[in-house]
Structures are given as C-alpha cells and as structure tokens.
C-alpha cells in the first residue's frame, strides 16, 4: 500500500473542520453551553496610566440582585507568584497602564455585569505618566536578551571605520508604530470548577501552556486544569500564552461557585492582551562602489511596560540576511506606563525587515544599481555572524524567479517616471526571511475499530489549517487515506504540544505525529506515543530559515496622495509545502497584513491621556476587500532533509516580512517620496508630490 | 449597556418624552449605545411610519421620505440621472449592509465623529460640557479645519449630507410646535460653545422628508471622496460639485466639502468666486483658496487644506 503513502501531504485538501465552521457548528470559547447557572463577567479597566487603586465602591442603586460579585485587589483571592506579571490580576494596588484590569463584576446577565462595571466607583491616586518612546529617553537600557533568547547586541569587525572609509553609505531612521494583533475572535474564557479541578474553555494558541500557567496561579498541578480550545478565530501571537481573561474567569468561577464567561470587548484587546512595540530603527550601510556591503549597523529603540520586560528581537533578522565584514546589531528598551508588548505575527522580523529592506533600496538608489542585483551581490555563503552553513537558502532564486514572474526586467529605475491619468505608478521589491524552528511535542495514535486511527496532540488550529495538515501527515505516516484518520487537537489533556507560534506548529506537531504513526505501523501495536524532545535537542538550530521575495506595484494619486496596491506578489522558498491550499492562504494573509502595516495600521498615542485612542476596527484600519487587487503567492520546490521528517519550513509569518518594505519601496519608485514613518498614509505623501 | 424601553411610533405627531430618542436604521445610534456614549431611556422606532417613498415634486424636484434606505436612494433612477452627485455620495458611504439599513434622516442625523467622543471614558465637551477637548492637543488628524471652536473640533461624517448641502436640499420637520422647514445647510451647527448640540432640531422634532429642488445642471455633478483605505472608511476629505459652463465661462456652480467641519461645508465663497470666471484650472484654484483662507488647521491636519484644494480642482476639471 505504499502508493497510498505520500499521497496526502502536498495535496490541496480543504479544511477538515470547514463544514462545521460554515454551518456554525464549530464552537468557540464563549459559545459552550455549561449550565443554567452560567454567570457573566465584565472588566472595569483603569482610566489612568499610572497610580494606585485605593478603593472600589459599588453603586447601591445598581440592581444588587443580579450582581454576584465584584472582585478587586481588596478582596480577590491571592494567587501564587506569576512568571507573567500581567496575570497577577488584582494582586496589587499599582496601576501600570491605562486599560489595566482593576475590577471584575460577575452577574447573572451580561447586561447587568456591564452596567455595574460602568457604575463602579474607582478611587485612584493618579500619578504623572510617561508614554512616549524617544531615542533620547534617559531611561533607555540594553536588555539582557531579546525575545525569546537572543543576545541584545552583536558586533564584529569595525563598523565605524568601515562607514568612514566607504565610498557609499546610507544612514536612515525608520519608525514603525504600535500595532495591535486584532484577531477576529476576541480573547474569551468560560471557566468552571468541578470539585477542585478547573475547566477552561479558552481561546489561545497553547492549551498545555495555559493549563500550566493557570494551574500555577491557583496552586493546582497542570493536570488538574483542563483547557479546551477546539477552535480559535485567530491570535497572531496575542493568544500565545494565558491572558488575563483566563485568570479572571477562573477567579470569578471560584468565588461565585458558578461557571463564568468572560469575553473581552474589542476595545480591551487594545490594552489587555499585547501588541507590537513601536520601533525607532537606525540602519547604516556602507558599500563599495560596485555594491558590496562592507558594514551593516542596525540599532533599535523600542518599549516595554513597567510590569514586564518584553524586548522584541527587531534587528535579529539583520544578523542573517546579507554578507558584510563589519556588522553590528543592537536593541535599547525603555519601560513606559503603557501595556506590555508581546508577540505579533513575526515579532522582530516584521518591523526589522522594514528598516533593513528599505535601507537596501535606498542604497541601491545611491549606487544606481538594480535593487535585486544589490541583494544578489551580498548573498552570504554561510550564516554571516556564526559561519554555520545554511541547511537550505534559496533567496537569490526567489528574487530572480520572482522578478521573472512579476515582470521586473523592463523597469525604469528612476522614480516618478510612469503616469497614467492622475496616478503615478511604481514597483518595489524586498526580501523576506523567517527562522525555521521545531519544538518538542508528543503525539499519540490509536487504532480504532475498523480501519480508522485516532491521532491526538494538544495542538491548536488558529484558522490556519493545522488540523488538516496534521491529518495529512498522519495519513501518510500510517499509509492510509486521510478519511481513516481522526485528528484530536485543542485539549490540554492530550499529549503535550508546543505553542502555535513562531511558524513552528506544523513542524513541531507533525514531527511528533509522524513519529507516533510510524511507530504504530512498525510495531504493529494498537497504540503508540512519540516524544520528539530528544531528536530536537540534538538538532543544529543555526542556519535554518525560510526565504522569500516580495514584489509590489502601487499607484499613487497625484492629486490626493492615495496609495493603491495594484499588484502584490510573493515568491517563497519554504521547504516542502504540506498543503498548497492552506499554505497559499497563509502566505496571502501574511502579505495582506503586511499591506496593512505599510499603509493602514497604527495605534495612535495620545501622550496626555497615556493611551492609544483608536481602539476598535472602525478606527484601527486594516485592509478591506477593496484594497486587495491582484495578490499572488508562489513557491519554489525546495528540498531540505535537515529540518524535520516532513521537510517543511514554517510559513505562517514570512508573508508579513518584507511585504511592507516592498510597498514602501514601490511608493518611492512611483513618486520619489520616501516614507520612513509607517504607515504611509496620504498625508505623509501628498505634501511632497 | 443601559437598559432602555423600546416602542414603535404610530404617527408622525408622536411626540417624545424627555430621555427618549427616535430610532431609524440604528447604524449610528446603536453603535453609540453599545459604546456607552448614547444612553437613551426610550427608543421610539420611526421606521414604520411609511416615510419610505421617493416622490416627484411639482416643478421637478424630489421628496425623499425620511425613512428611505440609503441603498434605495442611491439606486433611484431619477437621482442617478438628475443628481448623480447624490447617488455617488451615498455609494461612497459605509458598506452595502449599512446602506441597506441606514435611512435618509438617520444619515443626516448621525453624530459627529471624533475618537474622544466615541470613547465614554474620555473627557469630551460633547459628553459633558466643560470637561474639555483633548483632541486639540491630542489626536486630530481627521478633525476639522473650518468652523471649529476651542470647545470642539469634531467633523460630521456623512457623505450624503455633503451632496445634499451642495444641492440646496430642504429638510421637512414635524414637531410639537408644528411643521417647519430648514435647509440642509442650516440643519447642522458649528460647535461654538455648545458642541453637545449637533443640529438645530429641538427635542421631539422629527425629520419627515428631504426635498431635493430641481437643478438642471446637477446632471453634471460628482462626488469625490478620499479615505485612508479603498472602502469602508470615513472621508478624510471630500468634495461634492455641480457646474454649469457656457462658452468657457462658469455660469453657475454648487460646491460643498466633507470631513472639514462640524457640518457639511457649503463653499459659498468659492462658488461666488467662480461665477462668471473662465472654467480653468486657475479659476478653480483661486476659488478653492478663497474658501480655504478661513481654514485654521491644527498640528496634524493641515494636509486637509491642500487635499481639499486639489479635490476641488480635480472634480471641477472632471466636470467641465
């Protein structure tokens, strides 16, 4: 039956849970029926950015019959120490940011909870706050490491000497704004205690991690916390760890003795669950007259909260992209009275590659060299910093093949040359990269009655197609058709899986699933379990990346500065593509999010109020259908046997890496206007046309 | 969300107790209620009053019922033929779903927009007179450049109202004190010291219809809206225009701007500057400048002056 094997992986199979989602049968965290005594919770958030909460008073006029509990630090149960201080809800009187959870109303109805929360009297001693990121902030410091565990600074050679002695240099500063993940499904939890066990229906990217975190806070072993996460309506990193909603719901359920549901309103997603830090990035490049880089310097200034040091690895991709003898990267952080930044799709790479890939475009202009050719001339043969060989790197092929498919070759390199009616037209290119990772996971397979198999792993499907791909992987490893595989995921009691993050889900979980299925087949037993930890521990981590090239054609209205992206094209080398249908959606989704980063998305800070003032999807703009004209993704057939049993690289994030830079570079080509402060809205372009 | 009572109005002279407000399509009011910005005690649904006809007026105009849905009005063949600016403005607004719900009067009566006004936790002179306006120093990129006050710099978001202001439409009002008419250009107020009032309507007054007078040259009219993405966004600048040119000279013109003020901004000064002038780019520029000398932009919205100026030229050149 080996003809059955190798059949499923690589096929454009539709999502196995698609029909359930279309019919509304797929349940999300706030949709599970858990009993008539279900109570509803609503969070009262801080109206100030810094201070102390001294008292909370409940309005006696609010219908007390419906309100079951009002929790705040004065009466909330004590929790064990949290690794993540954002989870230590109601454990302190300190207010660290505007929007922080200060109290929780639990009521018989959602309306009563919300109304009571709005009428709570919060006695606050307000203090002056500091919410503005700037390069001359006196409290800037160098964090010990950047996310997740990279050195903050790296340096080799003599960057200053190379810059001073180079015939051609570029010294530019790019700014990216705070961004919010904004998944369609808000963070939500339905919590209930069964005896001393806690059950959480929770929207997250890592059920076992949430079980461990919440268990730790409530003094329970992880196996006494049951996290059910069958379907997730997007997370983009903001659900990678337990968020305050899970703690609040569990706490409320414990205090009231009822099941409690807490679905955060959209506005709370702009403070309580994470965001992408704003960045100020200075990139300096030195090159020979024929376009060989002699120095690369990438310096990043970014922020975190008073509560927790999250240092984004913004300059880390610069460590891998181009050859240059003299190189330096560094990160400086300042702790502000603002919410804690976190992972947001390609944390580090997405903003970092804006600065590097726009700076490369600027260098190409100074050199009068085609920007693709400049990149090709600086292609490294090994990892530029470590000297480790790449397991596979087809960046140049992506650039060249992409150029061919996009139609780059007859491009006039001069800006502001092509005009059709009121529109200036231009094209741009930028590179893409994302690390290829795998994390330890365990899977179990059981032979069921008949010809079927049940494969279990505590993974989650954020809407990416993970469940489908794992089904395909299992089918091939078992050498059976996909119809004989029943995939169970989204439950913390299943064998332990790694987080759905870092574009590592398919590789990590697929590795464990492959191991378990092969073991079952080879042993002939009824059940098999496989833990990939040892194999992953032994694996070389360095030199493993996916690469790609993004191409954009934009038109800019000469009268208004409006930008439209006529064409967006991505060419990727990302190992073996496991399912071309779901992969295409991943690539396109990333590219569209990259378009949002280039043109639309920005959380607008009001320094006086100490908060972002656009906090819903009417005011925080992401692209809409009408913004998407021609968008395409293609990929090279890349073989790499040093990765994982499937030969796959992560594809969930690379689409947002470099696509914003391609659009910004195209805007320059169309108009001669270089926007270095994202997003490139019309008010930044119009005055220069 | 505050508890409220809902009932259906049975006739136009229904009246409205204190704390009550009329509900039509709900596309703005319900949003504001969800945000805690609007907190009515009673909603009186006026969508069953039969005000949903577009009728011919003697002499060539149209009487547009207050309850006519935006999508129906945009598709009306008479509107598309004789007042295309109105159809274009309607179709530039919101989304298909919202236009199917939104009504003519409701569109006119949507509240001004400002990120502070939309957030009940923020100080705002519209929420609470005297609490201050953080927008002047804070976020005001999409706020007013014309007619604003120290108390308020919000903008009126309607596209349709800009076209109606250009077309000299007249609002028919029924209220406790009887019936009256108000031109669309005088329906909305500038903020002054009382920004909590968006319009001149008194409590209990109900818009029953909007009369669109005949304007022969409006057959050559257009609406151009600029926004931060291709669709489903409020304008950052817009222009409604109709122009009549004879032997190379402007004989008549109607011009109104959107997203620049607390109300749809009828550009009377620009119109006056254009009448009798050659229909050239220079004339259009001069006219736009004449109107925009009154602009008082804030730190981050000066681009609207240039944007509006360019839109005037672009739209008028396109029409003439």
d(CA A108, CA A113): 7
Q: What are the CA-CA distances from residue A60 to residues A63, A119, A559 (Å)?
A: 8, 10, 58
Task: Give me the percent of chain A exceeding a pLDDT of 90.
Answer: 97
Q: What are the CA-CA distances from residue A462 to residues A26, A154, A184, A511, A627 (Å)?
A: 13, 35, 11, 19, 24
Q: Are A197 and A224 in contact (CB under 8 A)?
A: yes
CB half-sphere exposure, A614, CA atoms < 13 A:
23
ipTM of this predicted complex?
A: 0.97
**Collapsed DSSP state (helix, strand, coil) of residue A564:** strand
For residue A415, how many other CB atoms are within 10 A of its CB?
17
CATH architecture of B221-319: 2-Layer Sandwich (3.30)
Distance of CA A111 to the CA centre of its chain: 33
User: Tens of pLDDT along A492-537?
Assistant: 999 999 999 999 999 999 999 999 999 999 999 999 999 999 999 9
> Token pair for residue B82?
């004789």
Judged against a pLDDT cut of 50, whether residue A1 lies above it is answered with no
Task: Write down the pLDDT at residue A3.
Answer: 45
CA distance A604 to chain B (A): 7
Task: Write down the pLDDT at residue B253.
Answer: 98
Q: Are A342 and A187 in contact (CB under 8 A)?
A: no
What are the start and end residues of each CATH 3.30.365.10 domain in chain A?
Answer: 18-27+438-538, 32-128+182-270, 145-179+276-436+542-688
Contact A564 B2 (CB under 8 A): no
Beta strand segments in A64-146, E: 67-72, 94-95, 101-107, 121-126, 145-146
Contact B138 A606 (CB under 8 A): yes
| CB-count burial class (<10 Å; 0-12, 13-18, 19+) for A448 | exposed
Confirm or reject contact between B222 and chain A (CB < 8 A).
Answer: no
- Quick one: average pLDDT of B256-283? 98
d(CA A47, CA B229): 31
User: Tens of pLDDT along B273-288?
Assistant: 999 999 999 999 999 9
Q: Are A60 and A142 in contact (CB under 8 A)?
A: no
Sheet holding A442-447, edge to edge: A485-488, A453-456, A442-447, A527-531
d(CA A586, CA A580): 10
Judged against a pLDDT cut of 70, whether residue A6 lies above it is answered with no
Q: Where are the domains of chain B?
A: 5-45, 221-319
- The residues near B97 (Cβ < 8 Å, ≥ 6 apart) are none
Interface test with A, best of B303, B304, B313 (most A CBs within 10 A): B303
Q: Are B210 and B108 in contact (CB under 8 A)?
A: yes
d(CA A268, CA A246): 14
Mean pLDDT of chain A, nearest integer = 97
Quick one: residue A663, left, alpha or beta (phi over 0 = left, psi -120 to 50 = alpha)? alpha
d(CA B269, CA B274): 9
| B307 → closest Cβ in A564, A626, A686 | A686
**Closest-CA residue of chain A to B139:** A606
Task: Using pLDDT thresholds of 50, 70 and 90, give the confidence band for residue A195.
Answer: confident
Task: Write down the pLDDT at residue A472.
Answer: 98
Measured over the CA atoms of residue A333, residue A334, residue A337 and residue A338, the dihedral's sign is negative
Interface test with B, best of A600, A613, A688 (most B CBs within 10 A): A613
Choosing among 3.40.630.10, 3.40.50.2300, 3.30.450.20, 3.30.365.10, the CATH entry for A32-128+182-270 is 3.30.365.10
Cα–Cα–Cα angle for B286, B288, B291, nearest 5°? 110
CA distance B131 to chain A (A): 14
Contact B134 A115 (CB under 8 A): no
Please, what's the b/e burial string for A622-659 (b: 16 or more CB within 10 A of its CB; e: otherwise)? bbeeebeeebbbbbbebebeebbbbbbbbbbbbbbbbb
Task: Give me the percent of chain A exceeding a pLDDT of 70.
Answer: 99
Q: Are A589 and A654 in contact (CB under 8 A)?
A: no
CA distance B315 to chain A (A): 10
Contact B314 A682 (CB under 8 A): no
Confirm or reject contact between A606 and chain B (CB < 8 A).
Answer: yes
Task: Write down the pLDDT at residue A310.
Answer: 98
d(CA B93, CA B156): 13
> Token pair for residue B265?
């901004």
Contact B228 A687 (CB under 8 A): no
Smallest Cα–Cα separation from A296: which of A193, A426, A123, A166?
A166
d(CA A508, CA A523): 23
Contact A613 B139 (CB under 8 A): yes
Chain A residues closer than 8 Å to B119 by CB: 267, 613, 615
Judged against a pLDDT cut of 80, whether residue A639 lies above it is answered with yes
User: Tens of pLDDT along A411-460?
Assistant: 999 999 999 999 999 999 999 999 999 999 999 999 998 899 999 999 99
User: Tens of pLDDT along B10-29?
Assistant: 988 777 999 999 999 999 99
CATH architecture of A145-179+276-436+542-688: 2-Layer Sandwich (3.30)
| A111 → closest Cβ in B1, B120, B310 | B1
Smallest Cα–Cα separation from A393: which of A347, A354, A433?
A433
Task: Write down the pLDDT at residue A573.
Answer: 98
Distance of CA A574 to the CA centre of its chain: 18
User: Tens of pLDDT along A85-138?
Assistant: 999 999 999 999 999 999 999 999 999 999 999 999 999 999 999 999 999 999
- Quick one: average pLDDT of B122-140? 97
Rg of chain B over all Cα atoms, to the nearest angstrom: 19
- The residues near B11 (Cβ < 8 Å, ≥ 6 apart) are B49
Please tell us whether the domain made up of A18-27+438-538 is placed in CATH 3.30.365.10.
yes
**Collapsed DSSP state (helix, strand, coil) of residue A72:** strand
Chain A residues closer than 8 Å to B120 by CB: 118
d(CA A373, CA A429): 11
Type and span of the H or E element at A156: strand A154-156
> Token pair for residue A162?
């190379």
Give me the phi and psi of A394, to 5 degrees please. Answer: -125, 45
First vs last C-alpha separation in chain A: 66
Q: Which residues of A are catalytic?
A: 653
Give me the phi and psi of A77, to 5 degrees please. Answer: -60, 145
Q: Are A141 and A332 in contact (CB under 8 A)?
A: yes
Task: Write down the pLDDT at residue A5.
Answer: 46
């Amino acid at each position: 039956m080996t003809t059955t094997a190798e059949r499923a992986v690589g096929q454009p199979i539709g999502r196995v849970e698609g029909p359930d989602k279309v019919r509304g049968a797929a349940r999300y965290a706030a949709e599970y029926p858990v009993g008539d005594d279900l109570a509803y919770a609503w969070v009262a958030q801080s109206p100030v950015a810094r201070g102390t909460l001294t008292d909370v008073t409940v309005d006696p006029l609010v219908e007390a019959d419906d309100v079951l509990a009002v929790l705040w630090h004065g009466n909330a149960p004590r929790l064990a120490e949290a690794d993540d201080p954002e989870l230590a809800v109601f454990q302190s009187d300190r207010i660290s940011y505007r929007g922080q959870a200060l109290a929780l109303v639990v009521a018989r109805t959602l309306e009563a909870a919300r109304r009571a929360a709005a009428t709570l009297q919060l006695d606050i001693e307000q203090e002056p706050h500091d919410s503005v990121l700037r390069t001359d902030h006196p409290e800037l410091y160098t964090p010990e490491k950047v996310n997740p565990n990279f050195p903050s600074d790296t340096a080799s050679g003599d960057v200053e000497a190379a810059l001073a002695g180079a015939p051609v240099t570029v010294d530019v500063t790019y700014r990216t704004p705070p961004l919010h993940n904004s998944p369609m499904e808000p963070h939500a939890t339905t919590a209930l205690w069964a005896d001393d066990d806690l059950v959480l229906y929770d929207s997250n990217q890592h059920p076992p991690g949430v079980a461990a975190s919440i268990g730790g806070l409530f003094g329970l072993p992880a196996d006494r916390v049951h996290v059910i996460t069958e379907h997730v309506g997007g997370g983009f990193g903001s659900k990678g760890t337990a968020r305050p909603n899970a703690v609040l719901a569990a706490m409320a359920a414990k205090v009231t003795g009822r099941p409690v549901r807490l679905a955060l309103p959209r506005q709370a997603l702009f403070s309580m669950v994470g965001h992408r830090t704003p960045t100020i990035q200075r990139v300096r490049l030195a090159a020979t007259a024929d376009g060989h880089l002699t120095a690369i310097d990438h310096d990043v200034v970014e922020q975190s909260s008073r509560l927790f040091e999250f240092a984004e690895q913004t300059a880390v991709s610069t460590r891998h992209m181009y050859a240059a003898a003299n190189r330096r990267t560094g990160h400086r952080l300042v702790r502000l009275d603002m919410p804690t930044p976190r992972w947001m799709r390609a944390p580090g790479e997405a903003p970092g590659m804006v600065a590097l890939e726009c700076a490369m475009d600027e260098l190409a202009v100074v050199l009068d060299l085609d920007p693709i050719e400049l990149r090709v001339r600086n292609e490294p043969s090994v990892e530029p910093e470590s000297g480790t060989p790449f397991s596979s790197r087809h960046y140049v092929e992506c650039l060249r093949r992409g150029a061919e498919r996009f139609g780059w070759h007859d491009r006039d390199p001069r800006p502001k040359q092509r005009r059709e009616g009121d529109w200036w037209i231009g094209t741009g290119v930028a590179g893409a990269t994302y690390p290829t990772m795998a994390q330890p996971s365990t899977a179990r397979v059981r032979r069921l009655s008949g010809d079927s198999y049940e494969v279990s792993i505590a993974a989650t499907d954020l809407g990416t197609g993970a469940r489908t791909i794992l089904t395909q992987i299992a089918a091939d490893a078992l050498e059976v058709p996909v119809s004989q595989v029943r995939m169970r995921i989204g439950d913390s009691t299943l064998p332990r899986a790694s987080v759905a993050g870092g574009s590592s889900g398919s590789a990590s979980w697929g590795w464990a699933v492959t191991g378990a299925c092969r073991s079952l087949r080879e042993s002939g037993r009824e059940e098999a379990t496989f833990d990939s930890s040892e194999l992953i521990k032994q694996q070389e981590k360095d030199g493993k990346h996916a690469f790609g090239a993004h191409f954009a054609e934009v038109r800019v209205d000469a009268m208004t500065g409006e930008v439209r992206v006529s064409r967006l094209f991505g060419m990727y080398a990302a190992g073996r593509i496991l399912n071309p249908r779901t992969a295409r959606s991943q690539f396109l989704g990333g590219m569209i999010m990259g378009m949002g980063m280039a043109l639309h998305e920005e959380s607008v800070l009001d320094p006086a109020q100490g908060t972002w003032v656009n906090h819903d999807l009417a005011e925080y703009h992401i692209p809409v259908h009408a913004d998407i004209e021609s968008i395409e993704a293609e990929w090279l057939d890349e073989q790499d046997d040093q990765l994982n049993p499937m030969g796959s690289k992560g594809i969930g994030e690379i689409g947002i890496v470099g696509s914003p830079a391609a659009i910004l570079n195209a805007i320059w080509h169309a108009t001669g206007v270089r926007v270095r402060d994202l997003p490139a809205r019309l008010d930044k372009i119009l005055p220069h046309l | 969300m505050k508890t409220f009572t809902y009932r259906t109005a049975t006739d136009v002279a229904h009246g409205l107790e204190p704390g009550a407000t009329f509900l039509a399509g709900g596309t703005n009011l319900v949003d504001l209620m969800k945000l805690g910005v609007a907190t009515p005690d009673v909603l009186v649904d006026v969508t069953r009053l039969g005000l949903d006809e577009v009728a011919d007026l003697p002499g060539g105009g149209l009487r547009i019922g207050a309850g006519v849905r935006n999508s129906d009005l945009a598709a009306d063949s008479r509107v598309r033929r004789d007042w295309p600016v109105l159809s274009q403005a309607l179709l530039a607004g919101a989304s298909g779903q919202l236009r199917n719900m939104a009504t003519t009067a409701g569109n006119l009566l949507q509240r001004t927009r400002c990120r502070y006004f939309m957030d009940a936790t923020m100080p705002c002179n519209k929420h609470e007179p005297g609490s201050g306006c953080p927008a002047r120093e804070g976020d005001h990129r999409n706020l007013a450049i014309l007619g604003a006050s120290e108390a308020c710099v919000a903008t009126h978001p309607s596209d349709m109202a800009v076209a109606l202001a250009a077309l000299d439409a007249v609002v028919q009002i029924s209220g406790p004190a009887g019936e009256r008419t108000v031109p669309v250009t005088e329906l909305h107020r500038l903020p002054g010291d009382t920004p909590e009032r968006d319009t001149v309507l008194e409590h209990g007054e109900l818009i029953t219809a909007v009369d669109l007078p005949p304007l022969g040259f409006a057959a050559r009219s257009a609406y151009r809206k600029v926004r931060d993405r291709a669709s489903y966004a409020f304008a950052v600048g817009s222009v409604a225009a109709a122009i009549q040119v004879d032997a190379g000279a402007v004989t008549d013109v109607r011009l109104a701007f959107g997203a620049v003020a607390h109300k749809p901004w009828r550009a009377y000064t620009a119109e006056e500057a254009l009448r009798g002038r050659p229909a050239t780019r220079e004339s259009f520029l001069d006219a736009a400048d004449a109107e925009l000398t009154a602009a008082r932009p804030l730190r981050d919205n000066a681009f609207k002056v240039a944007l509006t100026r360019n839109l005037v030229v672009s739209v008028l050149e396109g029409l003439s």
